[in-house]
Structure 1
Amino acid sequence: MRLKDQFQFVRQNMKKNRTRMFMTILATAMSVAFLIVLASVGFGLHKSIVKETLERRLVTEIEVPGKEEPNNGFRQLTDEDISYFEEIDEVKAVTRRKTLQNYMFEVDDHQTNAQAIVAHMPSETKAGLELAEGRLPKSENEVVVGYHFVEDLRPNREVSEELYDEQGQIKEEFRYKEDLIGKKITMNVVKFEDGKEMIEPLEVTVVGIRQKPTKDWVYDSIVFVSEGVLKQVEEFTGTPRGMMKDPNNPDMELPDIPLDQYDQVNIYAKDMEAVKDITAVLEENNYPSYSVINELKDINVMFTIVKAGLIFIGTIAIIIASIGIYNTMTMAVTERAPDIGIMKAIGANPKTIKKIFLLESSYIGLVGAAIGTLVAYGISFIVNFGLPLIIKQAFGEEPPEGLIFSHIPYTLPIISFIICYLVTILSGLRPAQRATKVDVLQAMRREV
């Protein structure tokens, strides 16, 4: 019996019990849709968190806090380490910064507190530093300020509620209105001597303003100063990095910080694929590191477990639906006993008879899986569109921007089809085997 004839035989027999067949396919479709929609929640949340993680951090950035040495313990990084990092393959740039204290900066009749940082500007530029206005510093008394530095400038008066609006921002009428480029600003360095506060004003010129951060939650008000400014600060305070001694404990000992030691070192890879290789090289040489790849690795492991659990729960629904398939196929064997008897009487191979019933159960499973997949995509679209509106209206909360509640990757329907096909084959296997054992004489008398 040709395969074409087998399919035709199956279609003819299925038409005889359309209602029962429809209900069986419907139950299978519902179970597949349940599996896909349930698992899609795990895939959707996973995609949302990965997206948020990638947006919050530069994907090619690798933070290196220091080096672990067997005998000397953990130490900060120096120029020697920087040179080693720059020689690693696929490294685009290595930025290094020295952190100073927060200082009071004054310009005209406005002032603000901001953190001063000594940065290596060539490497910062190579890593992607961009300016909204102005240029990079060329002399030691020139500085670059963060985008929000000017927004923090407030009139030289005591801080009061009238200066700020409800969002905690300085009111428009009190903001600094002039162009900051080319302005001389005063950096007030403070130290305590004999219990008295002493202030040394250092005059610097603003030559550049950094580009506005791409993310709204990033607030950039730092001031990039030169090594020359750092030297002046240390000469006045007599302490490394301008650290302030406790006025109540003037004899306290401050740590000795070498001139070429850095507080923050970041490596920038040429592309995301190179991050993993660079991280591996760093770990081999006792440089602990942190990058977005490390964070994604933990996230992926956690969500792999969650998605596997959701798929397992969805599979239970398909197994429950398989009971209906088993019942349908058992009834089909009973009703078609005379046909089976005729087929065996004219010499049909038992394997052919078994194959016909397995084809029928496979048809139920695959058609149900196809319908269930289409329904699942529809439900996923409705959930992603409607659920944020429901949350907003019912609870008065605004869902995070870009949150994906349900995501169906192409692999999920494939997994569902495979699971559904295997379950339906197992469900039809026992009835198919029973069909091969039908007695010809009893079948001809319409009995099984």
Structure 2
Amino acid sequence: MRIKDQLRFVRQNMKKNKTRIFMTVLATAIGCAFLIVLASIGFGLQESIVKEITEDRAVTEIEVHGKNNDDDYQPITDKEVSELEGIKNVKAVTRHQNLQQGASYTISQYQSGGAQTVVTDFPSEVRSGFKLSDGRLPKKENEIIVGYDFVNGLEPVGTKPDDLYGKDGAVNQKYRYKENLIGKTIQMKVVQNENGKEEEKVIPLTVVGIGQDPGKKWVMNQNVFISSQVLSQIEQFTGTEKGAVRSGDSAEDLSPQDQNTYDEIKVYADNVEDVNGIVDQLDKKQYLSYSIVSELKQINMVFNVLKVGLILVGTIAIVIASIGIYNTMTMAVTERSPDIGIMKAIGANPKTIKRIFLLESSYIAIMGAIVGTVVAYIVSFGVNLALPPILAKVFNQDLPANLMFSYIPWILPIICIAICFLVTIASGMRPATRATKVDVLKALRREV
């Protein structure tokens, strides 16, 4: 008996008991849908959390906080920067020196006192992905780049109305500086205490570029990027490293160092696959580093355990559905004993008879799994569409924009179908084996 004939025979027998087969398929579909939807919660929460983390920081970024030299903390200098740039698969090493005082910036009748002043190496910044929204990179020592939100922090000099600042911390639109900053001269003012008296120095700087929009409402970039030559002018005026303001008359511990030390170092890998290898090399060289990939590895481990647990719980529903399949196949063997007797009488192989009943149980499993998968996708879509606004209204709190309660990757239906198929085959094995043992004479007398 060919496979084609066996399949046709199975379909004919299933049509004879449509109601029973329908109810069995329905139970299997419910079990599969329950498994997929339940496991999709773990996948959805993982997707939301990982996405939120990776949106805040680049996944190829590695923060280096210093070097542990014989249990003694050592700041990063140009020597270490060269060593970091020499590591295989490192695309760029950005380094920042932060001005150790809050410099104020004035343009026309506007001023900003909340900007962070930074010295950086622009070639390495460009290699790491730094972009401008307007203007160009500095070419002269008195040329600067400002952050995208720098202009939003400029406020009118000498005015402090109650509605000056908005909820986001920026100056309200009606009080903002309206002109284009490109090409404008800004006066930078730094101070130092000398013999109990505050002295100040004003340095004119020209804005030639504006940084790219961070793209996130909660992130404000008001940095001012100055050249190392301007920082040298500030250090000569203050007599301290990075323009630190003295708290007293002594400046011994604050005097400028012979070599540059950096406050913020970031190493960028060529791609995310290279991050772990670079981190391992940094650890061997005793660098103190942190990578988001390491954090994601721990997060993924927790969620993998959660997903396995949810899949096991969902499998219980399929196991319960398999009881119905077992019952259906047992009744099928009983009802079709005359057909089994005829097949055995004309010389049908017991393996063929067994295969026919296993094919029928497999049909039920596949139909149930397909229907259950479709239902699971519909439920998942409905949950993600309806649940966030409901929860936001109930708890009177805005939920994260990218929050997903349910996410079904392509691997999840495959896992469900595989589990359903194995459970179904197991539940149909005994009735199929029983069918091969039916006595021909008794079967033809319609007795089992």
Q: TM-score, normalised by structure 2?
A: 0.90
SS of the equivalent of 2:76 reads coil
SS of the equivalent of 1:207 reads strand
**Please, which runs of 5 or more residues in structure 1 have no aligned partner?**
none
Matched, 1:375 2:375: yes
- Which stretch of the first structure deviates more once superposed, 119-128 or 18-27? 119-128
Q: Which residue of 2 aligns with 1:230?
A: 231
Pair 1:359–1:110, CA change in 2 (3 A): same
- Which stretch of the first structure deviates more once superposed, 46-55 or 116-125? 46-55
Shift of 1:146: 1.3
- The answer (yes or no) to whether the contact 2:34–2:317 under 8 Å persists in 1 is yes
Shift of 1:405: 2.9
Matched, 1:79 2:110: no
- The answer (yes or no) to whether the contact 1:65–1:289 under 8 Å persists in 2 is yes
Write the distance in 2 (CA, Å) between the matches of 1:132 and 1:384.
35
SS of the equivalent of 1:40 reads helix
Q: Which residue of 1 aligns with 2:246?
A: 245
- Which stretch of the first structure deviates more once superposed, 261-270 or 339-348? 339-348
Write the distance in 2 (CA, Å) between the matches of 1:184 and 1:444.
105
- The answer (yes or no) to whether the contact 2:366–2:417 under 8 Å persists in 1 is yes
SS of the equivalent of 2:219 reads coil
Pair 1:108–1:338, CA change in 2 (3 A): same
Matched, 1:19 2:19: yes
Q: Which residue of 2 aligns with 1:98?
A: 97
Q: Which residue of 2 aligns with 1:177?
A: 178
The Cα offsets for residues 128-153 of structure 1, whole Å up to 9 and x where unpaired, read as 33333333323333222112112111
Write the distance in 1 (CA, Å) between the matches of 2:260 and 2:168.
41
- The answer (yes or no) to whether the contact 2:235–2:256 under 8 Å persists in 1 is no
The one-letter code matched in structure 2 to 1:164 is Y
Matched, 1:347 2:347: yes
Pair 1:288–1:351, CA change in 2 (3 A): same
Shift of 1:13: 2.4
Pair 1:343–1:122, CA change in 2 (3 A): closer
- The answer (yes or no) to whether the contact 1:245–1:252 under 8 Å persists in 2 is no
Shift of 1:94: 1.7
SS of the equivalent of 1:163 reads coil
Shift of 1:166: 5.0
The one-letter code matched in structure 2 to 1:425 is I
Write the distance in 1 (CA, Å) between the matches of 2:169 and 2:284.
47
The one-letter code matched in structure 1 to 2:201 is E
Pair 1:148–1:367, CA change in 2 (3 A): same
Pair 1:258–1:44, CA change in 2 (3 A): farther
- Which stretch of the first structure deviates more once superposed, 143-152 or 336-345? 336-345
Write the distance in 2 (CA, Å) between the matches of 1:43 and 1:402.
14
Pair 1:55–1:110, CA change in 2 (3 A): same
Shift of 1:393: 5.3
The Cα offsets for residues 276-308 of structure 1, whole Å up to 9 and x where unpaired, read as 433333233222433332233223222212221
The one-letter code matched in structure 2 to 1:169 is A
Q: Which residue of 2 aligns with 1:425?
A: 425
The Cα offsets for residues 140-191 of structure 1, whole Å up to 9 and x where unpaired, read as 3322211211211112226452423455432333222333333333322223
1:133-172 counterparts in 2 under 5 A?
133-157=134-158, 159-172=160-173
The one-letter code matched in structure 2 to 1:138 is K
Q: Which residue of 1 aligns with 2:387?
A: 387
SS of the equivalent of 2:438 reads coil
The Cα offsets for residues 369-421 of structure 1, whole Å up to 9 and x where unpaired, read as 11111222222233333334444555554442233332222211111111000
Shift of 1:312: 1.1
The one-letter code matched in structure 2 to 1:265 is I
The one-letter code matched in structure 1 to 2:425 is I
Shift of 1:74: 2.8
Q: Which residue of 1 aligns with 2:204?
A: 203
Q: Which residue of 1 aligns with 2:445?
A: 445
The one-letter code matched in structure 2 to 1:246 is S
SS of the equivalent of 2:102 reads strand
> When the two structures are aligned, how many residues end up with a matched partner?
446
- Which stretch of the first structure deviates more once superposed, 98-107 or 83-92? 83-92
Q: Which residue of 2 aligns with 1:2?
A: 2
1:257-406 counterparts in 2 under 5 A?
257-392=257-392, 395-406=395-406
- The answer (yes or no) to whether the contact 1:246–1:252 under 8 Å persists in 2 is no
Write the distance in 2 (CA, Å) between the matches of 1:171 and 1:344.
89
The one-letter code matched in structure 2 to 1:438 is V
1:34-53 counterparts in 2 under 5 A?
34-53=34-53
Write the distance in 2 (CA, Å) between the matches of 1:134 and 1:372.
56
Write the distance in 1 (CA, Å) between the matches of 2:134 and 2:333.
82
Write the distance in 2 (CA, Å) between the matches of 1:328 and 1:409.
32
**Please, which runs of 5 or more residues in structure 2 have no aligned partner?**
none
- Which stretch of the first structure deviates more once superposed, 261-270 or 386-395? 386-395
Pair 1:171–1:352, CA change in 2 (3 A): closer
SS of the equivalent of 2:262 reads coil
The one-letter code matched in structure 1 to 2:117 is A
The one-letter code matched in structure 2 to 1:140 is E
Shift of 1:368: 0.9
Shift of 1:255: 8.7
Shift of 1:423: 0.2
The one-letter code matched in structure 1 to 2:92 is A
Pair 1:173–1:380, CA change in 2 (3 A): closer
- Which stretch of the first structure deviates more once superposed, 225-234 or 26-35? 225-234
Q: TM-score, normalised by structure 1?
A: 0.90
SS of the equivalent of 2:193 reads strand
Pair 1:201–1:372, CA change in 2 (3 A): same
Write the distance in 2 (CA, Å) between the matches of 1:88 and 1:60.
14
- The answer (yes or no) to whether the contact 2:239–2:255 under 8 Å persists in 1 is no
The one-letter code matched in structure 2 to 1:103 is A
Write the distance in 2 (CA, Å) between the matches of 1:412 and 1:234.
61
Write the distance in 1 (CA, Å) between the matches of 2:403 and 2:71.
47
The Cα offsets for residues 198-235 of structure 1, whole Å up to 9 and x where unpaired, read as 33333333232222223332211111112222222222
Q: Which residue of 2 aligns with 1:121?
A: 122
Write the distance in 1 (CA, Å) between the matches of 2:305 and 2:348.
49
SS of the equivalent of 1:289 reads strand
Write the distance in 1 (CA, Å) between the matches of 2:309 and 2:368.
23
- The answer (yes or no) to whether the contact 1:142–1:226 under 8 Å persists in 2 is yes
